[in-house]
A and B are shown apart, each in its own frame.
Chain A
Amino acid sequence: MTKKTKKEKRPEPSNSGLIDITRKKFRWSDYLAEKVIKGTAFLSITIIVLIFVFVFRESVPIFSSAKPVEKTETSAGAQPEQETYGEVTDKQVDPEVQETYGEVTDQPAAPEVQETYGEVTDNSEESGSTDESYTVSAGSGHDDNQTALKSLLTKDWVPVSEKPRYGILALIVGTFKITFISILFAAPLAILAALYTASFASRRVKEIIKPTIELLAGFPSVVIGFFALMVLASFLQDVFHYDTRLNSFVGGIAMGIAAIPIIFTITEDALTAVPKSFYEASLALGASKWQTAFFVILPAATPGIFAAVLLGIGRVFGETMIALMATGNAAQMGLNPFESVRTLAATIGAEMAEVVFGDTHYNVLFLIGSLLFIFTFVINAIAEFYVKGKLMKRIQGK
């Protein structure tokens, strides 16, 4: 009946109640909301860009040799190096002081260190207390950015002296050393625990493990640092009988503790993302639970585990407070795990509060920051793009 009877369009929309749909309404609130929301969403990208710009900007003067160092503050020129920071709380490298931790104020650096570094004693100025006035820029006047740039790739980190040198090699070596130790400790532990949680644990056990890990993730790093400094350092020294109480081993273990939750969580996600059909197929073929876990689930999740370890590395690499508190903070190149080390991040954390703005030292610290930033950025990018792509391929067979 009505089929195709009145098909011609009528231009006069008669007295329909729908007449008001023909005028597009402009809704201010919707328009504004969308614009604001969109704009805000770009904030996170903006922040990344700003971080790039501003962290690098402050390190740029190093590369422009023409510009002389601004001396905001010149201190008494002939300051003995030992005293650069007034009362230096040099806690790191003196064997005798290790146990009696409480009395370590005003200890000059240990003899060995002095031998290694000639006049170096001030790789301890992190402990110069922040409330002290800036008696700091000693000797920066003798320097200019060019020599700073030249000294970058040496191993002497002597930022505060008559002739400051900014060799970051020892810092880089120290950072990698400690990262290596902590990942060596944390990765197997976290991965095996995740494998247990994903493959063997009963529901109830899972409900204990997972919240515990979440709690651990919530531990402030300063608390872990405190624990390492107060308890772990002494405990490990009793077990391994090494000389320097605070060293890269202690720091590495402490940072490993901080990295465990990241590695665990991402690994566990990767393991549980392996399709159930893999698991069932393997069991159906007569494989036992552990064989399935080890030879089917684990390999299928390898890219995810790789990402987990990468992000763990990123976490440790930039960790500041634990490094400040538990590593001894001496810039040494050696590969012995029981020596004190100084990391890139700890150097920034210790020294930034006490440098003169615009000083070469200040710029070098920002340069170190840029390095850290680039490193973590790249690590994250690898974890994100390379690994995810692989994981998808492996699981979905695309």
Chain B
Amino acid sequence: MAIEKIHTENMFLHYGSKMALNNISISIPEKKITAFIGPSGCGKSTFLRSLNRMNDLIDGVKIEGNIFIDHINIYDKNIDVVTLRKKVGMVFQKSNPFAKSIFENVAYGPRINGIKDKNQLGEIVETALKNAAIWDEVKDRLGDSALGLSGGQQQRLCIARTLAVNPEIVLMDEPASALDPLSTSKIEELIVGLKEKYTIVIVTHNMQQAARISDLTAFFYLGELIEFDKTKKIFTNPEKKQTEDYITGRFG
């Protein structure tokens, strides 16, 4: 069936002396939406950040075990982390546009990749903004500061910015948690549209959201991967008791 994109086996992660991820083994398919759910502090975000090595930036993080993307071990010592992050993009919980114009925000990635040609940049920006479903709203004011956009627009701009680098995987860390319902539904719609081209991994604390948009769902609890299966199965007939308790709202 689906082609495997991300694959981990017996992966552990420590923050200093504290174990944050315990023996994670998972296999995430290509061009699907995979959701990570679980109560806060369960390790889902930490795991997500391991997939493009953003955890490298945090002092005291130690990782054992391997993570493979397209069967390449991204924790191999020869891996070029900078290039990896271009291939594995990330959208953050809080929208974080640069204090630049809308255009420059999206053009940032291509520019650092050495694209200087104005026309080419213009095309990339337009495509990215269209893919992020925000083109119509901003096409007349690309020169305006990105900070003038609404929260939902900013988040879609951040998605566009990520897409402009042309990643293969897009990691999303609770991308709609800070938004109003209307903006949230727009973002959700957008995410569903994106899976045609990209492998998407999304962390969410909103179970309905996971149920609505994802193909597969992984339930994390206390640093462990409790259950991973088709979303439908997880939400209707989970195998583990803990999953069921969480889904039904008994804790978390």
The verdict on A7 contacting chain B, using a C-beta distance below 8 Å, is yes
Residue-by-residue, is B5-20 near A (CB-CB < 8 Å gives 1, otherwise 0)? 0010100000000000
**In contact, A21 and B27 (Cβ under 8 angstroms):** no
In the complex, which residues of chain B have a beta carbon less than 8 angstroms from the beta carbon of A23? 78, 80
Query: Given that A1-B230, A4-B27, A5-B27 are known contacts, is A22 also in contact with B68, CB under 8 Å in the complex?
Result: no
**In contact, A18 and B7 (Cβ under 8 angstroms):** no
**In contact, B71 and A2 (Cβ under 8 angstroms):** no
**In contact, A22 and B82 (Cβ under 8 angstroms):** no
Q: How far is the CA of A9 from the CA of B72 in the complex (A)?
A: 9
Residue-by-residue, is B76-99 near A (CB-CB < 8 Å gives 1, otherwise 0)? 101110111001000000000000
Q: How far is the CA of A17 from the CA of B86 in the complex (A)?
A: 11
Q: How far is the CA of A18 from the CA of B70 in the complex (A)?
A: 7
In the complex, which residues of chain A have a beta carbon less than 8 angstroms from the beta carbon of B48? none
Checking A4, A20, A21, A22 against B25 with a beta-carbon cut-off of 8 angstroms, the contacting residue is: A4
- Contacting B at CB under 8 A, from A23-38, are 23-25, 27
**In contact, A22 and B228 (Cβ under 8 angstroms):** no
**In contact, B80 and A2 (Cβ under 8 angstroms):** no
Q: How far is the CA of A21 from the CA of B75 in the complex (A)?
A: 11
The verdict on A100 contacting chain B, using a C-beta distance below 8 Å, is no
The verdict on B69 contacting chain A, using a C-beta distance below 8 Å, is yes
In the complex, which residues of chain A have a beta carbon less than 8 angstroms from the beta carbon of B9? 7
- Contacting A at CB under 8 A, from B32-84, are 68-74, 76, 78-80, 82-84
The verdict on A6 contacting chain B, using a C-beta distance below 8 Å, is yes
Query: Given that A7-B27, A25-B80 are known contacts, is A16 also in contact with B72, CB under 8 Å in the complex?
Result: yes
Q: How far is the CA of A25 from the CA of B28 in the complex (A)?
A: 28
* Residue of A whose beta carbon sits closest to that of B7: A7
In the complex, which residues of chain A have a beta carbon less than 8 angstroms from the beta carbon of B80? 20-25
Checking A6, A12, A22 against B7 with a beta-carbon cut-off of 8 angstroms, the contacting residue is: A6
The verdict on A14 contacting chain B, using a C-beta distance below 8 Å, is yes
Checking A2, A9, A19 against B68 with a beta-carbon cut-off of 8 angstroms, the contacting residue is: A9
**In contact, A25 and B82 (Cβ under 8 angstroms):** yes
* Residue of A whose beta carbon sits closest to that of B71: A10
Q: How far is the CA of A13 from the CA of B71 in the complex (A)?
A: 6
- Contacting B at CB under 8 A, from A64-104, are none
**In contact, A18 and B78 (Cβ under 8 angstroms):** no
* Residue of B whose beta carbon sits closest to that of A27: B82
In the complex, which residues of chain A have a beta carbon less than 8 angstroms from the beta carbon of B87? 17-18, 21
In the complex, how many angstroms separate the beta carbon of A328 from the nearest chain B beta carbon? 56
In the complex, which residues of chain A have a beta carbon less than 8 angstroms from the beta carbon of B73? 9
In the complex, how many angstroms separate the beta carbon of A27 from the nearest chain B beta carbon? 8
The verdict on B1 contacting chain A, using a C-beta distance below 8 Å, is yes
In the complex, which residues of chain B have a beta carbon less than 8 angstroms from the beta carbon of A25? 80, 82-83
**In contact, B1 and A1 (Cβ under 8 angstroms):** yes
In the complex, how many angstroms separate the beta carbon of A23 from the nearest chain B beta carbon? 6
The verdict on A393 contacting chain B, using a C-beta distance below 8 Å, is no
In the complex, which residues of chain A have a beta carbon less than 8 angstroms from the beta carbon of B228? 3
Q: How far is the CA of A10 from the CA of B72 in the complex (A)?
A: 8
**In contact, B71 and A22 (Cβ under 8 angstroms):** no
* Residue of B whose beta carbon sits closest to that of A11: B71
**In contact, A24 and B27 (Cβ under 8 angstroms):** no
* Residue of A whose beta carbon sits closest to that of B74: A21
Residue among A10, A18, A25 with most chain B CB within 10 A: A18
In the complex, which residues of chain A have a beta carbon less than 8 angstroms from the beta carbon of B26? 3
**In contact, B2 and A2 (Cβ under 8 angstroms):** yes
In the complex, which residues of chain B have a beta carbon less than 8 angstroms from the beta carbon of A3? 26-27, 228-229
In the complex, which residues of chain B have a beta carbon less than 8 angstroms from the beta carbon of A12? 71
**In contact, B29 and A22 (Cβ under 8 angstroms):** no
In the complex, which residues of chain A have a beta carbon less than 8 angstroms from the beta carbon of B27? 2-7
In the complex, which residues of chain A have a beta carbon less than 8 angstroms from the beta carbon of B216? 2
Q: How far is the CA of A27 from the CA of B83 in the complex (A)?
A: 12
**In contact, A20 and B7 (Cβ under 8 angstroms):** no
The verdict on B137 contacting chain A, using a C-beta distance below 8 Å, is no
**In contact, B79 and A2 (Cβ under 8 angstroms):** no
Q: How far is the CA of A43 from the CA of B109 in the complex (A)?
A: 34
* Residue of A whose beta carbon sits closest to that of B72: A13
In the complex, which residues of chain B have a beta carbon less than 8 angstroms from the beta carbon of A5? 4, 27
Query: Given that A3-B228, A20-B83, A22-B76 are known contacts, is A13 also in contact with B29, CB under 8 Å in the complex?
Result: no
Query: Given that A4-B27, A24-B79 are known contacts, is A14 also in contact with B70, CB under 8 Å in the complex?
Result: yes
The verdict on B244 contacting chain A, using a C-beta distance below 8 Å, is no
Query: Given that A2-B27, A6-B27, A24-B80 are known contacts, is A16 also in contact with B70, CB under 8 Å in the complex?
Result: yes
Q: How far is the CA of A7 from the CA of B7 in the complex (A)?
A: 7
Q: How far is the CA of A13 from the CA of B80 in the complex (A)?
A: 15
Checking B4, B72, B82 against A2 with a beta-carbon cut-off of 8 angstroms, the contacting residue is: B4
The verdict on B168 contacting chain A, using a C-beta distance below 8 Å, is yes
In the complex, how many angstroms separate the beta carbon of A60 from the nearest chain B beta carbon? 44
* Residue of A whose beta carbon sits closest to that of B78: A24
* Residue of A whose beta carbon sits closest to that of B168: A17
In the complex, which residues of chain A have a beta carbon less than 8 angstroms from the beta carbon of B28? 2
Q: How far is the CA of A230 from the CA of B28 in the complex (A)?
A: 82
In the complex, which residues of chain B have a beta carbon less than 8 angstroms from the beta carbon of A16? 69-72
Binding site for A on B (CB under 8 A): 1-2, 4, 7, 9, 25-29, 68-74, 76, 78-80, 82-84, 87, 168, 216, 228-230
Contacts A/B (CB < 8 Å), 28 sampled: A1-B1, A1-B229, A2-B2, A3-B27, A5-B4, A6-B4, A6-B7, A6-B27, A7-B7, A7-B9, A7-B27, A9-B68, A9-B73, A13-B71, A13-B72, A16-B70, A16-B72, A18-B69, A18-B70, A21-B72, A21-B79, A21-B80, A21-B83, A22-B72, A22-B76, A24-B78, A24-B80, A27-B82
Binding site for B on A (CB under 8 A): 1-7, 9-10, 12-14, 16-25, 27
Taking A16-B72, A21-B87 as known contacts, 4 extra A-B pairs with beta carbons closer than 8 A to each other, sorted by chain A number, are A9-B71, A10-B71, A18-B69, A20-B80
- Lowest 3 CB-CB distances: which A-B pairs, in order? A16-B70, A10-B71, A21-B83
